Amino acid sequence: HIVTVMTEHRAVLDPCHYLEKLGFEVTILPVGADGLIDLELLEKSLRPDTILLSIMAANNEIGVIQPLGAIGAICRQYQVLFHTDAAQAIGKIPLDVEEMNIDLMSLTAHKVHGPKGIGALYVRRRNPRVRLAAQIQGGGQEKGLRSGTLFTPQIVGFAKAVELGIKAIEEDTSHLNQLKARLWEIISQLDRIYLNGHPSQRLAGNLNISIEGVDGAALLLGLQPIVALSSGSACSSSHTAPSHVLTALGRPESLAYASLRFGLSRFNTLEEIELVGEQVVLTVNSLRKAKNF
Ligand SMILES: *Cc1c(COP(=O)(O)O)cnc(C)c1O
């Protein structure tokens, strides 16, 4: 038995569905309207045969940060392994595998300004020792877990990116919070817009909004000349269905379609943010006007 959450990345949900086909049972927990899990519900979902709980550290669409310390404490109490997909969290928020009782942690380099094509899996060695089956059989590299000659330049680039990211967490967070506050200030001139996800328990660089009466794709077209934007998640942008994350928050389909996620980075400037904000306001107003909304 495995427990995970509706708002997980497909990198977690798809393997869980695959495991179901192999005979595992999977419980997929709902989230509240703010994107946070309910710890009581989580505790109740654990069974004597539960082997793993997988909950992401920070959501890739709405930036919501789950209470990792409290989740880890519950997992330890019930002796269930705790895996967290921390792809969005590394270098953005403090992570401590000891304090948070994390047994397995997945990371990827390109979300922290590192090179694409490399990731890492932290595997706890003691208290408890996590035993995994090999992902790739062969020469026995990576303690036999993932055979194959290591890609040294990617590894070095990944480590450097994480080192720089972690060093700058405080500075980046305050810079990004300032940029985000300014962006929200400009965009919230519009009426009938809604923030998706918890207002404060989220990544500093993430702003996700739903805009009534506007199609996300049309909005993207209007903004494309000046900014790199995506609606929903890049990893499933080929899907036309509304985001499973926004649907999990209880957003009606009409609002889940008309959503926009801003991912701000430490390299963004106030001038860029103001330009984008003003362009969003102009584009939304003209799209609404065209529809007499
Ligand atoms: C990007 C991302 C992934 C996938 O990582 P890739 O290295 O791009 O395959 C998984 N989970 C989350 C939360 C992500 O943001």
The answer to whether the beta carbons of residues 162 and 114 sit under 8 Å apart is yes
Task: Give, for ligand 1, the residue of 65, 235, 245 to mutate: max count of ligand atoms closer than 8 Å to Cβ.
Answer: 235
User: Which residues are marked as active site?
Assistant: 235
pLDDT in tens, 2-52: 999 999 999 999 999 999 999 999 999 999 999 999 999 999 999 999 999
Three-class HEC string of 205-228: CEEEEEECCCCHHHHHHHHCCCCC
pLDDT of residue 43: 98
Pocket of ligand 1 (CB under 6 A): 9, 11, 56, 60, 85, 87-88, 108, 111, 119
Phi-psi region of 144 (alpha: psi -120 to 50; beta: other; left: phi over 0): left
Per-residue pLDDT averaged across 128-156, rounded?
94
pLDDT in tens, 89-107: 999 999 999 999 999 999 9
pTM surpassing 0.75? yes
Distance 59 CA to ligand 1 centre (A): 10
pLDDT in tens, 170-225: 999 999 999 999 999 999 999 999 999 999 999 999 999 988 888 777 888 888 77
Distance 114 CA to ligand 1 centre (A): 13
Nearest-CA residue for ligand 1 atom 8 is: 108
Distance 67 CA to ligand 1 centre (A): 20
Side-chain half-sphere CA neighbours of 89 within 13 A? 23
